[in-house]
Chains A and B, each alone.
Chain A
Amino acid sequence: KAGVTQTPRYLIKTRGQQVTLSCSPISGHRSVSWYQQTPGQGLQFLFEYFSETQRNKGNFPGRFSGRQFSNSRSEMNVSTLELGDSALYLCASSLRGGRLNIQYFGAGTRLSVL
């Protein structure tokens, strides 16, 4: 069974641009969560989607948004990029979300903002 797939693996953007990251969950998984990982802040929860609905959101500005499609694939978008948005963005999928459903992580997308 294929794991969580994130594309692209690496991205370089400049300040002010916008970016879209993609995540394909494990087949059969319906919940997708996104995390931002930086050296200073560590791993921080961005949001979670289940059945195309955002179920939970972390403390990030409105420039960070996401969506989920009917096939459970998810995208996250960051508009008006800032230097501080440089990070590894990780996607995790689970069967139904919730505490008892283990999250499986992708390899991440490394975003560099210049």
Chain B
Amino acid sequence: AQSVTQLDSQVPVFEEAPVELRCNYSSSVSVYLFWYVQYPNQGLQLLLKYLSGSTLVKGINGFEAEFNKSQTSFHLRKPSVHISDTAEYFCAVIPTGNTGTASKLTFGTGTRLQVTL
């Protein structure tokens, strides 16, 4: 089984400041990793994903994340945030192997990013 931990439930930050949202996972098998964003009253939108290759992945809206296998982490970063980045961010994993678990994503509990002036 997999589990995802997002230690920070809320992260307040001023506009134009950098931000890092932390994600750690636990799994006995290899996983693919994702970050999704949820704006108020909306569904989830894929920000970025790590499937293989370079451990630094770039996503939409200027976000990037780095996969660290030894630390089982996949932290999300943005060098300069904007008011419009205020949203809930979810880290998620799915096993890479054929374990019969199909498309079942395991999500973290989410981090609320609050950007203020």
Contacts and interface: CB of A to CB of B under 8 A. Distances in A.
Interface of A: 4, 6, 31, 33, 35, 42-43, 45, 48, 50, 55-56, 58, 90, 92, 94, 97-108
The size bracket of the interface on B is 20 to 34
A48 B105 contact: no
Contacts of A98: 102-103
B95 A43 contact: no
Contact of B43 (A42, A97, A108): A108
Given A33-B103, A42-B109, A45-B104, A102 B49 contact: yes
Main secondary structure, interface of A, reads strand
Interface string B86-117: 00001010111000111111111110000000
Contacts of A101: 103
A98 B94 CA distance: 9
B44 interface: yes
A100 B103 contact: no
**Which one of A45, A90, A97 has the highest number of Cβ atoms from chain B below 10 Å of its Cβ?**
A45
Nearest to B93: A99
B83 interface: no
Interface in B27-48: 32, 36, 41-46
A51 to B, nearest CB: 12
B17 interface: no
Contacts of B106: 45
24 contacts: A4-B43, A33-B105, A42-B109, A43-B92, A43-B105, A43-B107, A43-B110, A45-B104, A48-B102, A48-B103, A48-B104, A55-B103, A56-B103, A58-B104, A99-B95, A100-B51, A101-B103, A103-B46, A104-B46, A105-B44, A105-B45, A107-B41, A107-B42, A107-B43
